[in-house]
Structures are given as C-alpha cells and as structure tokens.
Chains A and B, each alone.
Chain A
Amino acid sequence: MARRNVFRAPDATEVGPRRGRVRFVLVMIVLAYCGVLTRSWYLQTRRHADFVERAEGQHRSVVKLRARRGDIVDRKGRELAISAMVPSVSAIPALVRDPLGTAATLAQLLGVDAEVIGKRLARGNQFAWVKRQVTPAEAQAVEAANLAGIELADEPRRFYPNRSIAGALLGFAGVDGEGLEGIERDFDHYLRGREYVVGSLRDARGRQLMTGGYLPVEHLSGNKLELTLDLRIQQVAEQALAEQVKAMDAAGGVVIVLEPSTGDVLALAQTPTFDPNLYSQATPDAWRNRITVDVLEPGSTIKPFVVAAALDTGKVRPDDLWDGMGGRIRVGRKTVSDVHAVSVMNTLEIIQHSSNVGAVQVGQRLGREAYYGYLRAFGFGEESGLGLQGEVRGTLHPAEKWGLIHLATISYGYGLTVTPMQMARGMAAIANGGRLMQPRLVRRVVDAAGRTVEEFPPRVVRRVISEQAARDVSRGLELVTQNGGTGKKARIPGYRVAGKTGTAHKVGSGGYAKDKVRSSWVGFVPAQDPQLVMYVMVDEPKKAQYGGAVAAPIFAAIGREVLPYMGVEATEPVDLRALAAAGADVDVDEEVAEGIDPQARPWWFEAPLGNEGPSQVVVPDLKGKPLAEVVAQVEALGVELDVQGAGLVVEQAPKAGSLMAPDGRLTVALALPGEPPSLVAAALDLETDEGEGTP
C-alpha cells in the first residue's frame, strides 16, 4: 500500500467514501428523480390539455380550398365563362437553398421579375406565390428544372372562351375565384364554389405533410348560370357596332337587343370592350358596363313615348292634325325649332318627321302630371331590375317641379336623363302591346348535378298603355322607316321595321355642345309581330351625326343577320330597286355572317395563354357514360382514346376538368354496374383515390 505520510493527521484513519454521506447523496438522487417524475405527471396529465392545444395550434393546419366556380352559359348552353384546372407555381422560401439562383432560373422559365421573386424567396417564410396559373409548357419547364422548395399545384382558373365577346357584361373573376366585375361579381353568390377545409399536418417550415385525401367536393361547386343572352346575337351586335363606331370615328357605343314578349336580354354589346381573360391589361374604364351605368339625354327617341302617352289618355287621336308653325314654336321666352319645317302633320307623322314642334304641342295637351306619370310607368327614373350592381336611375324630376319649358323640352327628350336599358325596355313595352316586362338576364341557375336551383320566369311589371295605343304608336314608328321618315337606313329587306331615331347634343362646358352628339336608334322588328327590340347608341360620331345615319344602319345590320337566325320569316317582298333608291346598303355584309361560327372552339384550343407550347384541350367528364357517347365526345376533342373493360365509365385519366395535349391519350375504364370499381381500376393500372365513393 501507499507510503505513510509523515504529515498525516493522527485522527484521519479512514480513506474513501463516507457511508453516511453516500446515503445522503443517494437520498438526494432519489428525491430528484421523484421530483422530476411528479413534474412529469403534472405536465402530462394535469396540464395535458394546455400543451395539446398549444402544440396543435402550430402543427395542425387547415387548408382552405374553394370548390370549382360555376360556368356561365348562354341561352343555348354555349359556354361564356368556364373553369379549368391549370398549374400554379408556388414556393416554400424556407426550403429554397439558393434564392437568387432559383429566382434567376424562374425568371427565365416563367418571365417573372427575378428581383421581385428573389426578394420573396429570400424572406425565408413558409409560402409565397411565384406565378399563378401558368401555361402547361411553363409548368413542364418548372417541373423539369426540379428546383428545391418550388412547387406546382393545380388551381382552377377562369376562362372566357369567346374572349372579348360580352366581356364588359360578363366581367371577370380573380385568381382566387371571386367575382370582381360584371355578372361574375353581381351573381357571385350563385357562381362561387363553396369553401371547404382539409385538415393537415404542418411542420415548422410550413410544409404540409399529410392531407386528408381527396374529398368528393362536387356538391360544393358553384352553380351554373344560364343567361338569356344569345352568343351569336351578341357576336353580331358587337361586330356591327364596332364596325360602325370605327366607320363613324366615334368614341364608343352600345347595343341592346331584347325579346319583347319575355324581356329577355339577347345581347348587350358595348364598345370599347375588353377581354376578361386579360382583364388586368384593360383599363378599369373599359370594365364599366355602360348599358346600366351611363346616363344620357334621350333626345328625339323620347317622342314615341310622349305620343304613346297622349294616345293612351284619349286626349289625342292618331289622325289629329297638328300645325307645323313654320318649324318654330315659342314656349315662354324660348323658341323650339325643327330641322325641317313641316306645315301640317297628323299625330303619327310627328314621330315620322321627328318634329319637335309637334311633340311640344302633344306634350302640352297631355299635361305635365299625366306625362310624368306615363314616363314613370314606362320605367324611366327607376332601376330596370336587370340584377346588375350599380345600375343608375337617371334623372326625372317630379312633375310639380316642371315649368312650361321643362314640359316642352322633356317632350323632345332634353331635361331628363335615362339609361340605355330604360330606353330599350320602354320601347319593348310598346312592342309588347303596352305591357312593360322586367328585363331578364339570367334565366336559370343550375347546380353541378344539373338540378335547377332557381328559375326566373318572365315577369310583367305593369301595363303602361292600352294595346290600341301601342298599335297606333307602332304605326307611327313604322312610318319612320318609310319614305319621308328619318330612319330609312334602318330598313331590313323582307321585314317591316318600326323605330325612332334620336340625336342628342351632349352637354359640354357652358351648355350643349354643337359638335358632340349621341346618335341613337330605338326600334323593333317585325313591326306587326315584334321579335326583336333594339336600342343602338353611338357616342360622338364624327363622320355623321343624325341617328338615322349613324345608329339606324347598325340596327339594320344586326336585324339582317339575326332575324333569319331566329327563324323569323320575311313577310315583305324585297324590292332591291326601292331599297337602292332609299339609299340602303343592299349588299349583305358577308363578313358579319362569316364571323359567326356557333361551333367555334374556345380560343385557347389554338392559342394557349403563352405564345408557344402545345395547345390544350379540356378533358370532359365521362364518368357514368356509355361507350358510344364517350367515343363521340373524345373524337370531337381529337385526342386518342384507350378503352378498357365494358359497361359504363367508372374511371378516367386525366381527370375531368384538367387540360391535356390534343395529341395526348385519354384512358377510360368501364365497368358493368355492380362491379367493384377498385378491381377494375387496379386491373387497368389507374389511380383510385382512397375513400372516394363507388358509383
């Protein structure tokens, strides 16, 4: 053993751990463990709920998804707005290893701003969009680049297959499927797919780890909106309007086409318009729906209404004679004059010649109270009930505020403002035998399963004038297109046309502007059995000014196309010489006819969103359909078809609503009813989602 140390204290004989002290330490260790164990018990059982709540608060995440937005179709089922699944590129910046390099690559692939994206990626948070709703070619390029932290996911995107046609009316929906303008906004509550949530687990960097699997969300989809609009009539109207606006070097214009018996809106054209697919490139001014938002002084187009009112009261008869007064009539201190003085005319000829002098006298005989009452009854000064937001009422002061001069000016269309829709609607009431209809834009709302959710039947608002008075005014309106009338250019070969021209000076600085007018035409055809009511207005035409020269030809151009299309038979012999003598354009503009192809494919069949890359087709929903129908549909698409099994379609790849290349291959699995689809699907090597219902 070790040496004994000479300095060692005599009483220190023990070496090594002291027994009592070791015991003390042992007790301390056991106590410490008991303490931690108690603490564990307290944390894990007594306060369990707190920590679970805190923990779940951070890793339980709920992904909000929105079901597909409903389509908008015209009265014949043609698609005006549809939703298709397209890929979007997003990023989890926290997982991006090289933000600048990644941003540079993305900028090259997607045409985004490298600096903006680089900043977004460098932020290191959990989610950022890179570019939403990219083209299939871009998506492929991004996928091939295989960048860390960059992801692709399908999102529904809104397409407007007819591009700018009815663009201002349809408006547009934003990238999150919310209606922002036009019908998309005003009927959003029908169209919008309902939101649903999918529970998932999220790690500390925000990556979704487990989603609850696919849910059958069909029943949450938005409803389909069936408009009364007719795509073809809309196309004709827009084209005719656009051509005339261009020819007349005008600032713009609107066309309303109504079906008088139902109040159905067949076309609402306006120019300038925009392509809702590219809405961000248009100015908000172009988004405006001029038909319900713009107000204007009607000018001469009000005259049929004052005459109609007067005839209805019985104070005026159609064959009453009126003094032309040499083209000038004094009202108080003001003189009202005619463009062409008429010596004497009957009541209907006031309309034909658009005589201000005659109209003032009719108005004076009618009296302001009665006149005001009739104007209100015709729907002036109230909303038309089209269902679009922001519709204005126009200005129509109550009768007790009218002075003598007001009564006179309102008789020939100044001193009140109206909307184009009010004019069309009022004229439709005359065409409809005196019954004012509520204009109808939406006919039916249908859910995703095809069931009608809501129907909007035609609605008679009120009877405004008697049928006899309506007939009499119609005769006067028909005179307008005959020799001696102001609207001979509204003639349509083979049909009797009734209508009224209007030329209203616009209000400029310090009074009415001489050179700025709104030329309008409001009328219907055929006069004896009206099928179409049209209101045409051209804003600030420069080449000509009178409504008969500027607006009436548009009416004729539209009518020539649309009447045969609607199956309205011509009743009159076509006298080409007479027409030529009347100065009407006999040559039917073939271009208008050519431009309309009801079978036209949506534009992106030919041109996807980008410039290059393969064209895409939308995969139809084939589930539950028999083979014959599938073959017909797929042939129409032009893609190749793979059929497996027999019976009805139970599975298809790609899924319905997605885009596929036209040279792609569509696979369908068929099964007889009662056959377990999983078996079929497995045999056919198709994906089946767990939990999806069996058909």
Chain B
Amino acid sequence: MLSWFSKKAASEEASTQVVEFRYDRPLLVITLLLIGFGLVMVYSASIVTAETQSGDGGYFFKRQVAYLVPGLGAMFAMANLHNEALKRYAPWLVGGAILMLVVAMLPGVSATAKGAARWIQLGPVRLQPSELVKLSLVTWMCAHLTRMDIDVRRWRDSWLPALLVTGILAALLMKQPDFGSTVICGAMMMLLLWVAGGRHWHTGIIILGGIALVALAIAIEPYRIRRLTAFLSPEADPQGTAYQINQSLNAFGSGSWTGLGLGESRQKLLYLPDCWTDFVFAIIGEELGWVGVFGVMIMFLLFVWRGLTIARRAASPFASLLAFGITAQIGFQAVVNMAVVTALLPTKGLTLPFVSYGGSSLVVSCAAVGILLNISRGKPPPAWLHAPARPSRMRRVADGVAVALRQRV
C-alpha cells in the first residue's frame, strides 16, 4: 500500500518540474470570503442583543473586526514559518496547551460563563484555550505519527502515546467542562491515527471505547442527559432545555428558499440565544434561506477540496498529514455546527469556523489556514531546520525510557 505522499513525491521526482513556492491563492480567497461573510452575519445577528446590552448595535461587529488583526497576523506568521518547525516543536505546543488549560482553571485569571470556566482573562482580552488545544493536538499527532522511528501499526508506538496525550488534554477539558471540544479532540486523534495507517481493528476498539466513555460522560451529568432528551424530543420542553434548539429551528425554517432578506431576521430579536456565535448558521438560514445555506456549504466544501489538494501535494509526510488533519478538523467542525443548528446532532459548544463570532476561534482558525498556506508553498526547510536538532535532555530521557520499555517487551 502506497501512501498518498510517496506516490506524489515519486511522480515529481520523475518530471523534474520547477517547484513554485507560492501560496495556494484559492484557499486564501475562500478563507477571506468566509471571514468577510461571517462579519456581515455577525453584525446582522448580534445587532439587537448588542443594542440591548451595551447600547451600541455594532459592539460585537467591531470586536470581531478587531480580532481580524491578530487573526490575519497569525495567518501571515504561520504561512511564513516552515512547517518542519511545527513538527520539531510539536511537543512544546502540546505542553503549552496543557499549561494554558491549567491556567484557565486558576482562580483570578479564569473567566466563567454559563457554568464553564473556559477562558483566560488577560486584561480586556479573553483567550479560549480549547481552540488552541485542538490545533496543538492535531499538530502533535501528525508529528508523532510521521516519526520515522515508530510503526503506526504497533499499538504501543501509536495508540499508547496518542491516548496518553489526548487523555491528559481531555481530562483537563472535561474539568472546565467542555464536552464538545473533548469529543472533537478524541475524534481527531482517532481519525488521524487511522488515516496515518493505524490498524482497523485497533481503531475499531478505540472507537467503541470512545463511545463508551461518551456514554458514561453523558450518564453522570444530568444536564447532558437533559440535552440529549431535548434533542431526541424537542417538543417536550420547548421553554426549557430545548428552547435554544427550537428557536434555532424557528429561525432556520422561516428562511424558505431565499430567506427573509439580509438583516430581516426576527429570531435575532433576543429569541435565539447565541445567535451570533454558535447559532449564527440559523440566522444565515433565516435571512438568506436555502440558497445562502447552500452557498456557505459550497464554500466549506471548496475549502476542504483545497485543503486535501494541498495535503496531496505536500512536500513531506508530516506536512501532508497535517494539511489533512487541519482540513478535516475545520470541515468536520463546520458540518457538525450546521448539524447542531438543524437539530441533527445534540447541542455542543462548537463554532462555525471563520463565520461565528469569537476571537480565539478566529485567530486559531486563521493560524490553521496560515499553516495550510505554508504547506501549499512546498518549500524545503530553511537552513536552521536542516540539521537534526540535538535531542533535548528531556527527549533523551524519554527516548531512553522508551527504549528500555521496548526492550523489556
């Protein structure tokens, strides 16, 4: 079985093409279109709430525009930082993510909303570590799975460290609690491992185990059971747990083919909570109708198409897997968000990438696109990454432990 990457590398070697180190411009255009569209929809959806809460109808819109500065900056930075660096420093990324999750729990800097301590408050800025956690995990998974010294098909080379790292992150995320991000992390871990060549039956067992864990997590938290019940029978308690999803459907279903017209949403009159963040897609459906919904989906599918094309043409196995991982994560997160809004899945806390209001989500998504753009250039690693770095003391110790373990088995 040939890997995608190796086939491509072989063909390129044969044709001796001149490699152009240029960004994938369609991806950039699609991303910017989605962000621009998101700004319009955030403004339209949030104006009433913003007016009511702060007296300024453009409050959320202005903040989202402000988030574009770090967002585009991160995109530019990641586009110019060679992806080999990510591979080398992936463990540090995961370490940073863990640190942020721990900090988010500390009293004083932790900010709480709706019963979840998900934010780090730094002056006027609020960081949501879970967004960064997802990207870090994907990066580390890709770095680990493309190491030359492991065999992906071997349990202890692949699943064991992956489960360990994901488990630590998941535990910290569940402490917040952020069930949605936890599920996404677990799912991305399994997906990447399987796509990178993990054994089918290993994957099957892990998936079953994952489902069991999810069931357990639902069973021990009464509010998750309520949400699930509300999802299964939304008519039962339309003013309680099922309120949001019912209002979401009221909005979405009112759209018909072409919608009520931009800015004409009725459900944004404080009926649909979070209608500019997690449920902005419902307002899109209401104001722009099926045509608008179709347009948004086409944009995300084009994004996926560009992302997988970049993955196919990537210069290294790591870059290829990373491009695939980022693309899949954004593509899945978007469709899961849409499925939640249309009541196909129970309510999570997931944003619609690029479109929903939210600084952390926007900045991390932009950074992810920057990584994709960098991969799309296909440049060879710069000089400072050429020489294999001397393994750090930590790494040497860890490797030593790994060697000792393997020898004993």
Using CB atoms and an 8 Å cutoff, list the residues of chain A in contact with chain B: 1-5, 7-9, 12, 14-22, 25-26, 29-30, 32-33, 35-37, 39-41, 43-45, 47-48, 50-52, 54-56, 58-59, 201-205, 209
Complex CA distance for A20 and B4, rounded to whole angstroms: 8
Contact of B269 among A40, A45, A201 (CB under 8 A): A201
Determine whether the beta carbon of B270 is less than 8 Å from that of A29.
no
Q: Which residue of chain A has its CB nearest to the CB of B316?
A: A16
A-B contact pairs, 27 of them (CB 8 A): A2-B149, A3-B148, A7-B406, A15-B317, A16-B4, A16-B317, A16-B318, A17-B311, A19-B3, A21-B194, A21-B195, A21-B197, A22-B311, A26-B308, A29-B328, A29-B331, A33-B335, A36-B335, A39-B342, A40-B285, A45-B256, A50-B253, A52-B253, A54-B250, A55-B251, A203-B269, A204-B271
Q: Given A15-B5, A17-B195, A203-B270, output 4 extra A-B contacts at Cβ < 8 Å.
A: A8-B151, A43-B253, A50-B253, A204-B270
B67: CB under 8 A from chain A? no
Contact of B301 among A3, A19, A30 (CB under 8 A): A30
Complex CA distance for A322 and B23, rounded to whole angstroms: 134
Complex CA distance for A17 and B153, rounded to whole angstroms: 13
Determine whether the beta carbon of B344 is less than 8 Å from that of A39.
yes
Contact of A44 among B149, B252, B311 (CB under 8 A): B252
Determine whether the beta carbon of A16 is less than 8 Å from that of B271.
no
Determine whether the beta carbon of B151 is less than 8 Å from that of A52.
no
User: Which of B113-121, B210-218, B222-230, B287-295 is found at the contact surface with chain A?
Assistant: B287-295
Determine chain B's interface SS by DSSP, over half rule.
helix
- Tell whether A3 pairs with B149 under 8 Å between CB atoms, given A55-B266, A203-B269: yes
B339: CB under 8 A from chain A? yes
B255: CB under 8 A from chain A? yes
Contact of A45 among B5, B290, B318, B338 (CB under 8 A): B290
Determine whether the beta carbon of B196 is less than 8 Å from that of A17.
yes
CB distance from A232 to the nearest CB of B (A): 57
CB distance from A97 to the nearest CB of B (A): 11
Complex CA distance for A19 and B256, rounded to whole angstroms: 40
CB distance from B190 to the nearest CB of A (A): 11
- Tell whether A9 pairs with B4 under 8 Å between CB atoms, given A26-B308, A30-B301, A59-B271: no
Q: Which residue of chain B has its CB nearest to the CB of A1?
A: B148
Determine whether the beta carbon of B195 is less than 8 Å from that of A18.
yes
B332: CB under 8 A from chain A? yes
Contact of B321 among A16, A26, A35 (CB under 8 A): A16
Determine whether the beta carbon of A16 is less than 8 Å from that of B5.
yes
Contact of A22 among B4, B255, B317, B388 (CB under 8 A): B4
Determine whether the beta carbon of B335 is less than 8 Å from that of A16.
no
Q: Which residue of chain A has its CB nearest to the CB of B146?
A: A15
Determine whether the beta carbon of B321 is less than 8 Å from that of A17.
yes
CB distance from A59 to the nearest CB of B (A): 5
* B-side contacts of A5, CB under 8 Å: 148-150
* B-side contacts of A25, CB under 8 Å: 191, 195, 324, 328
Q: Which residue of chain A has its CB nearest to the CB of B318?
A: A16
- Tell whether A55 pairs with B254 under 8 Å between CB atoms, given A29-B335, A36-B339, A44-B285: yes
- Tell whether A19 pairs with B7 under 8 Å between CB atoms, given A12-B153, A44-B289, A55-B254: yes
* B-side contacts of A55, CB under 8 Å: 250-251, 253-254, 266-267, 271
B320: CB under 8 A from chain A? yes
Q: Which residue of chain A has its CB nearest to the CB of B345?
A: A36
* B-side contacts of A21, CB under 8 Å: 194-195, 197
The 7 tightest CB contacts between A and B, nearest first, are A51-B253, A16-B317, A5-B149, A203-B269, A204-B270, A2-B148, A19-B4
Complex CA distance for A21 and B6, rounded to whole angstroms: 15
* B-side contacts of A8, CB under 8 Å: 148-151
Determine whether the beta carbon of A48 is less than 8 Å from that of B254.
yes
* B-side contacts of A29, CB under 8 Å: 301, 304, 328, 331-332, 335
CB distance from B371 to the nearest CB of A (A): 15
Determine whether the beta carbon of A16 is less than 8 Å from that of B196.
yes
Residue from A21, A35, A37 with most neighbouring chain B CB atoms (10 Å): A21
Mark out the residues of chain B between 318 and 377 whose CB falls within 8 Å of any chain A CB in the assembled complex: 318, 320-321, 324, 328, 331-332, 335, 338-339, 342, 344
* B-side contacts of A43, CB under 8 Å: 249, 252-253, 285, 342
Residue from A2, A3, A25 with most neighbouring chain B CB atoms (10 Å): A25
Q: Which residue of chain B has its CB nearest to the CB of A15?
A: B317
Mark out the residues of chain B between 93 and 129 whose CB falls within 8 Å of any chain A CB in the assembled complex: none
* B-side contacts of A37, CB under 8 Å: 293-294, 297
Using CB atoms and an 8 Å cutoff, list the residues of chain B in contact with chain A: 1-7, 48, 52, 146-154, 191, 194-197, 246, 249-257, 266-267, 269-271, 285, 289-290, 293-294, 297, 300-301, 304, 308, 311, 316-318, 320-321, 324, 328, 331-332, 335, 338-339, 342, 344, 388, 406
Complex CA distance for A47 and B255, rounded to whole angstroms: 10
Complex CA distance for A35 and B293, rounded to whole angstroms: 13
Residue from B300, B318, B320, B338 with most neighbouring chain A CB atoms (10 Å): B338
Complex CA distance for A35 and B343, rounded to whole angstroms: 12
Determine whether the beta carbon of A59 is less than 8 Å from that of B249.
no
Determine whether the beta carbon of A204 is less than 8 Å from that of B269.
yes
Residue from B250, B251, B308, B316 with most neighbouring chain A CB atoms (10 Å): B250
Residue from A15, A19, A37 with most neighbouring chain B CB atoms (10 Å): A15
* A-side contacts of B256, CB under 8 Å: 44-45, 48
- Tell whether A9 pairs with B154 under 8 Å between CB atoms, given A3-B149, A16-B5, A17-B320: yes
Q: Which residue of chain A has its CB nearest to the CB of B192?
A: A17
Complex CA distance for A373 and B177, rounded to whole angstroms: 94
Determine whether the beta carbon of B255 is less than 8 Å from that of A44.
yes
- Tell whether A4 pairs with B152 under 8 Å between CB atoms, given A14-B197, A29-B335, A204-B269: no
Complex CA distance for A15 and B321, rounded to whole angstroms: 9
CB distance from B272 to the nearest CB of A (A): 9
* A-side contacts of B194, CB under 8 Å: 21
CB distance from A684 to the nearest CB of B (A): 33
Determine whether the beta carbon of A205 is less than 8 Å from that of B293.
no
Q: Which residue of chain B has its CB nearest to the CB of A34?
A: B297
* A-side contacts of B195, CB under 8 Å: 17-18, 21-22, 25
Residue from A1, A26, A56 with most neighbouring chain B CB atoms (10 Å): A26
Complex CA distance for A650 and B7, rounded to whole angstroms: 87
Determine whether the beta carbon of A2 is less than 8 Å from that of B270.
no
* A-side contacts of B153, CB under 8 Å: 9, 12
Determine whether the beta carbon of A47 is less than 8 Å from that of B335.
no
Determine whether the beta carbon of B342 is less than 8 Å from that of A40.
yes
* A-side contacts of B191, CB under 8 Å: 25
CB distance from B404 to the nearest CB of A (A): 12
CB distance from A155 to the nearest CB of B (A): 26
Residue from A17, A47, A50, A58 with most neighbouring chain B CB atoms (10 Å): A17
Complex CA distance for A196 and B238, rounded to whole angstroms: 32
* A-side contacts of B196, CB under 8 Å: 16-18
Complex CA distance for A496 and B332, rounded to whole angstroms: 107
CB distance from A501 to the nearest CB of B (A): 74
CB distance from A200 to the nearest CB of B (A): 12
* A-side contacts of B251, CB under 8 Å: 51, 55
CB distance from B283 to the nearest CB of A (A): 12
Determine whether the beta carbon of A36 is less than 8 Å from that of B150.
no
Determine whether the beta carbon of A9 is less than 8 Å from that of B151.
yes
Q: Which residue of chain A has its CB nearest to the CB of B266?
A: A59
Complex CA distance for A420 and B1, rounded to whole angstroms: 115
Contact of A36 among B6, B149, B297, B406 (CB under 8 A): B297
